[in-house]
């Protein structure tokens, strides 16, 4: 069995992640911040530990600016729907995931002006084109740090600089890069960072969140939900401070215990070391696939400028057929189709059939890459 679907969710998880979750369920099990007893205090300590770990990873000066939710999708919805109003403008790129495009299209129907800047077919986006698309009503730029289809990395620091210069908010979808590529919210000029816990942070599904920078005006930032926070319980109005304003209801403490262990595991290895490992695998896979007649490989084809995600097609075979054969004949698990990113496939010229995506993680080996290339070669032989 070869798991090459880490861009969907990483597998396996480090043993410490599972142990931390079991330990919480077995030894703590209480609701954080609600009751004053020792187990409740321990649960709150675990949640705060997760905030501290995420803050350290992304160089966030104050852990209370790390707010937790179920995934990157909700974090992106919170930032977009919570900050943009009719009459505002927002600029994005042509490689976005539907977790950005769907809320944006809904906001467009409510009077928000949405501008999508064209990317090159390899997924790259020229920061100067972003700057040229800004209008007087533009309030926000939203971009993914890396495409989930071809891994192409955005020039974050340059776009962040433009956003600062123009007094705009910069929202970054780091679903594909958090833990896999160095990311520093201060150096990169990021105001809002949506992250997910279950991919390269090696936590469980059901964890993620939004980092809220100091330039964001909380007075204009509407939460998606309101309710019990364990704080200011004498009031019927939502607390107006971070993180409580965005964290109503009992949090996923068991998930956050696992997330904290996952982030610590990443930092013990270092993001740079994980990145070097994944870059090597990506280089190997791109070279192997490109050498096969009848195989088209998409993206920039430069491992140094993309994440560990490689999409390809085999001439004469539908992506779904390739995915089925990889699974059934070689035990290789991948993802085929449009990857929740129709905009990216339009940009790449692979809409509507999509492509076959292989995505690596910290546990993927060079032997896995050899096996994937050998399987693709045999399939290309069959397809032709
Ligand atoms: C680029 C990108 N953005 C957002 C998401 C959404 O992440 P989640 O499913 O954790 O909400 C994904 C997940 O695949 C993604 O790849």
The predicted structure's pLDDT at residue 382? 83
Closest-lying ligand 1 atom to the alpha carbon of residue 197: 10
Interatomic CA distance for residues 360 and 371, integer angstroms: 13
Interatomic CA distance for residues 178 and 199, integer angstroms: 8
Interatomic CA distance for residues 267 and 43, integer angstroms: 22
Interatomic CA distance for residues 80 and 104, integer angstroms: 7
Closest-lying ligand 1 atom to the alpha carbon of residue 198: 10
The predicted structure's pLDDT at residue 92? 98
Element (H, E) at 139: strand 138-144
The predicted structure's pLDDT at residue 33? 84
Interatomic CA distance for residues 144 and 273, integer angstroms: 22
Give the residue with greater pLDDT, 162 vs 230: 162
Among 196, 199, 311, 359, say which to mutate for ligand 1: greatest number of ligand atoms within 8 Å of CB: 196
User: Residue 383 pLDDT more than 80?
Assistant: no
- Residue 169 pairs in a beta bridge with 140
Closest by alpha carbon to 91, among 186, 169, 183?
Answer: 169
Going from the Cα of 250 to the center of ligand 1, the distance in angstroms, rounded, reads 23
Per DSSP, the three-state class of 366 is helix
Sorted by sequence, the CB contacts under 8 Å of residue 59 that are 6+ apart come out as 184, 185, 186, 187
Interatomic CA distance for residues 278 and 364, integer angstroms: 8
Going from the Cα of 233 to the center of ligand 1, the distance in angstroms, rounded, reads 34
From the CB of residue 61, how many other CB atoms can be counted at a distance below 10 Å? Answer: 10
Rounded to the nearest 5°, which phi and psi values hold at 65? -85, -5
Give the closest residue (by CA) to ligand 1 atom 7.
72
pLDDT digits (tens, 9 = 90+) for 110-168: 999 999 999 999 999 999 999 999 999 999 999 999 999 999 999 999 999 999 999 99
User: Residue 36 pLDDT more than 70?
Assistant: yes
The predicted structure's pLDDT at residue 219? 97
Residue 384 pLDDT level (bands cut at 50, 70, 90): low
Give the closest residue (by CA) to ligand 1 atom 16.
148
Closest-lying ligand 1 atom to the alpha carbon of residue 99: 4
pLDDT digits (tens, 9 = 90+) for 287-320: 999 999 999 999 999 999 999 999 999 999 999 9
Rounded to the nearest 5°, which phi and psi values hold at 337? 100, -135
Closest-lying ligand 1 atom to the alpha carbon of residue 144: 1
Among 98, 340, 341, 345, say which to mutate for ligand 1: greatest number of ligand atoms within 8 Å of CB: 340
Ligand 1 neighbours, Cβ below 6 Å, are 71-73, 97, 99, 144, 148, 173, 175-176, 196, 208
Q: What is the 3-state secondary structure (H, E, C) of 52-111?
A: HHHHHHHCCCCHHHEEEECCHHHHHHHHHHHHCCCCCEEEEECCCCHHHHHHHHHHHHCC
Closest-lying ligand 1 atom to the alpha carbon of residue 96: 1
């Amino acid at each position: 069995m070869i798991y090459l679907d880490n861009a969907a969710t990483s597998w396996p998880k480090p043993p410490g992640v599972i142990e931390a979750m079991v330990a919480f369920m077995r030894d703590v099990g209480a609701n954080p911040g609600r009751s004053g007893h020792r187990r409740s205090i321990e649960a709150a300590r675990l949640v705060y530990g997760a905030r501290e770990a995420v803050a350290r990873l992304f160089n966030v000066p104050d852990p209370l600016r790390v707010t937790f939710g179920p995934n990157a999708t909700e974090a992106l919805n919170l930032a977009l729907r919570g900050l943009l109003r009719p009459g505002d403008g927002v600029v994005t790129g042509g490689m976005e995931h539907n977790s950005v495009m769907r809320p944006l299209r809904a906001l467009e129907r409510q009077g928000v002006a949405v501008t999508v800047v064209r990317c090159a077919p390899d997924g790259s986006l020229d920061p100067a084109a972003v700057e040229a698309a800004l209008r007087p009503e533009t309030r926000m730029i939203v971009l993914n740090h890396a495409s989930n289809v071809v891994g192409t990395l955005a020039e974050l620091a340059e776009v962040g600089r433009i956003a600062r210069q123009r007094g705009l908010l910069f929202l970054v979808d780091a679903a594909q890069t958090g833990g896999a590529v160095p990311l520093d919210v201060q150096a990169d000029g990021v105001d809002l960072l949506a992250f997910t816990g279950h991919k390269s942070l090696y936590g469980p599904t059901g964890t993620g969140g939004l980092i809220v920078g100091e330039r964001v005006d909380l007075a204009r930032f509407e939460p998606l939900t309101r309710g019990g926070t364990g704080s200011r319980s004498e009031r019927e109005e939502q607390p107006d401070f971070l993180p409580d304003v965005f964290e109503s209801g009992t949090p996923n403490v068991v998930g956050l215990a696992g997330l904290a262990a996952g982030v610590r595991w990443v930092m013990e290895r270092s993001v740079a070391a994980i990145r070097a490992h994944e870059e090597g695998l990506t280089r190997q896979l791109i070279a192997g696939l490109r050498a096969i007649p009848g195989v088209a490989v998409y993206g920039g084809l430069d491992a140094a400028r993309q994440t560990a995600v490689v999409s390809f097609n085999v001439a004469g075979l539908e992506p779904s057929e390739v995915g089925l054969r990889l699974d059934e004949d070689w035990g290789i698990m991948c993802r085929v189709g449009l990857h929740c990113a129709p905009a990216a496939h339009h940009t790449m010229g692979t809409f509507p059939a999509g492509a076959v995506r292989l995505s690596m993680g910290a546990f993927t080996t060079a032997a896995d890459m050899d096996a994937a290339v050998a399987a693709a070669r045999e399939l290309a032989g069959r397809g032709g």
